Amino acid sequence: MSQVLSAATRSLDEASEVAAPSTAQAVESSLVSQRVRVRCKGKCGAQWRTGTVTSTNPLEVQVDDWDSAHCWDQVEAKHELEATLALSRLSLSSDVQPPVAPRDSAKPDSLVGFATQRALPRSGGERAEEQQTQALVSQRAAELNLPERLTLGLSVDAIESYIAALPADAVEQCNENRPTINGVRVPANGALNGYVNQWLVARFSEANGGKAYCETLYERGDPGVGVATVFVSWFLETPLATLVDALRQYLRLHPELPPDTKFWVCDFVIRQSTRQLDVTMNDVKRLGECVRAVGHTVLLMVPWDAPKPLLRAYCIKEVFHTQDSGARFEVVMSSEQQAAFETALVEDFDSIATKLSEVDVRKAECRNPKDTEQILGELEEEVGLTECNKAVFGLLRGALA
């Protein structure tokens, strides 16, 4: 999660101590009016792009053929320009947009309102790059004989629109209908989380011919759904608001990605059912293939110092298939968790290494003990739990380095 900054940005604090506000304003006016040319790129080895400085506070660059400017992790220009760029702080994040509160009014039995996301205008270059990535996902899915519906995903805006359409008592409704496993009723949910969402989506699917949420939206031509290019591995007890916050944070840290990037989130992609569990399990059995097809996994680290996904067998399975297929792997955190993580990086780096060393896939569980036994059995047979543990540890260490 370390952020790579340009030489200009690294010298910012020293330069800003001696620069008068009027001088900085003059520099910004000069840079913008002269349309200074620079090259920039995002995180994780993204390609360099060429563009024009449009603002220095925050430092923003509009890439050629793009319709808008963004903040970037690295910005490079001629040597004589670096000192003046140091007058401006590189802003890598903006205020977190709070999730939309649930409506008070009751909804129809479906409980789900369709996303009404506006199709965002993008340049030809952005569209071509996104289409190429999606084509690769579709190609890998075809090689795996994976149905197109299991490659779909939602934009963050579409997820927020979905949340906004839920009734205020969604959690209470779900809790009243909690299932029992081996004669024991599952714990009550304290927030609108993934478990509540699965129950809601199952009701929607049962009212729409058994089809998944993404599947139905896709057939209706909703712009909020499309081929996913990022697979999200997360613990279902996580509140949806935290999930949305983390994905917003991820997009801010990756300005090279389009704002309507489609994220593969299990609740919305898998055909959920409260009546026919075999329908859901038929999709769940192909989870590893979904990971391999998308080719890019982000793990939601909540909390960062004891990530619950690493205690869930399904998440471990997703991380293993990410490593085994050579897919891209990153971690994502909510804004609050990332701030705590960055503090630990500075003040107590050893604690991070200690936490990572405590990962043990043998302790991973599912709500249903039968699922735990099945998944750990698969991993033991495919690679061995010891080697699986090493693979997971290696990916985490690389992502957090």
Helix, strand, coil percent content, the chain, rounded in steps of 5: 50, 15, 35
Tell me which of 37, 65, 85 is where a domain ends: 85
What would the pLDDT profile of 350-377 be if each residue is shown by its tens digit? Answer: 666 677 777 777 777 777 777 778 778 8
Please state, in angstroms and rounded to a whole number, the distance separating the CA atoms of residues 274 and 282: 14
Please state, in angstroms and rounded to a whole number, the distance separating the CA atoms of residues 382 and 398: 23
Closest CA to 305 of 249, 245, 351, 345: 351
pLDDT of residue 21: 44
Please state, in angstroms and rounded to a whole number, the distance separating the CA atoms of residues 190 and 195: 10
pLDDT of residue 400: 72
CB atoms near residue 66 (< 10 Å):
19
Say whether both 53 and 130 belong to one domain.
no
Is residue 231 within 8 A of residue 270, CB to CB? The reply is no
Closest CA to 243 of 231, 229, 232: 232
Residue 230 bridge partners (DSSP): 263
Please state, in angstroms and rounded to a whole number, the distance separating the CA atoms of residues 252 and 161: 19
Say whether both 227 and 277 belong to one domain.
yes
What would the pLDDT profile of 99-112 be if each residue is shown by its tens digit? Answer: 333 433 333 333 33
What angle is formed at CA 243 by the lines to CA 330 and CA 349, rounded to 5 degrees?
45
Q: Is residue 306 part of a domain?
A: yes
Q: Is residue 109 part of a domain?
A: no
Say whether both 149 and 69 belong to one domain.
no
Q: Is residue 275 part of a domain?
A: yes
What would the pLDDT profile of 306-330 be if each residue is shown by its tens digit? Answer: 788 887 888 888 998 999 999 999 9
Is residue 31 within 8 A of residue 56, CB to CB? The reply is yes
Q: Is residue 44 part of a domain?
A: yes
Q: Is residue 111 part of a domain?
A: no
Q: Is residue 54 part of a domain?
A: yes
Say whether both 190 and 316 belong to one domain.
yes
What would the pLDDT profile of 191-215 be if each residue is shown by its tens digit? Answer: 999 999 999 999 999 899 999 999 9
User: pLDDT grade, residue 116 (50/70/90)?
Assistant: very low
Q: Of all residues in the chain, what percent carry a pLDDT higher than 90? A: 38
Give me the count of residues in the chain. Answer: 401
Q: Which two tokens stand for residue 12?
A: 């910012």
Determine the distance from the C-alpha atom of residue 311 to the mean position of all C-alpha atoms in its chain, rounded to a whole number. 19
Say whether both 18 and 152 belong to one domain.
no
User: pLDDT grade, residue 68 (50/70/90)?
Assistant: confident
Please state, in angstroms and rounded to a whole number, the distance separating the CA atoms of residues 287 and 374: 13
Is residue 194 within 8 A of residue 267, CB to CB? The reply is yes
**3-class DSSP state for residue 114?**
coil
Is residue 300 within 8 A of residue 366, CB to CB? The reply is no
Q: Where do the H-state alpha helices sit in 254-334?
A: 266-269, 277-284, 287-294, 313-325
> Residue 328's domain spans which residues?
124-400
Q: How many separate domains does the chain show?
A: 2
Tell me which of 70, 85, 100 is where a domain ends: 85
Q: Is residue 241 part of a domain?
A: yes
Say whether both 169 and 270 belong to one domain.
yes
**3-class DSSP state for residue 226?**
strand
Is residue 401 within 8 A of residue 1, CB to CB? The reply is no
CA distance between the termini of the chain: 7
CB atoms near residue 328 (< 10 Å):
15
Q: Which residues contact 231 (CB under 8 A, 6 or more apart)?
A: 263, 264, 290, 291, 294, 296, 297, 298, 318, 322, 327
Say whether both 378 and 311 belong to one domain.
yes
Residue 37 bridge partners (DSSP): 52
Give mean pLDDT, residues 255-270.
95
Kindly report the average pLDDT of the chain as a whole number.
77
Q: Is residue 153 part of a domain?
A: yes
Is residue 96 within 8 A of residue 77, CB to CB? The reply is no
Say whether both 77 and 168 belong to one domain.
no
**DSSP summary character for residue 70:** B
Please state, in angstroms and rounded to a whole number, the distance separating the CA atoms of residues 328 and 137: 13
Q: Which two tokens stand for residue 170?
A: 């969604």
Helical packing angle, 287-294 and 124-143, nearest 10°: 140
Say whether both 193 and 266 belong to one domain.
yes
Higher pLDDT pick, 141 / 379: 141
Say whether both 227 and 306 belong to one domain.
yes
pTM of the model: 0.68
Is residue 268 scored above 50 in pLDDT?
A: yes
**3-class DSSP state for residue 79?**
helix
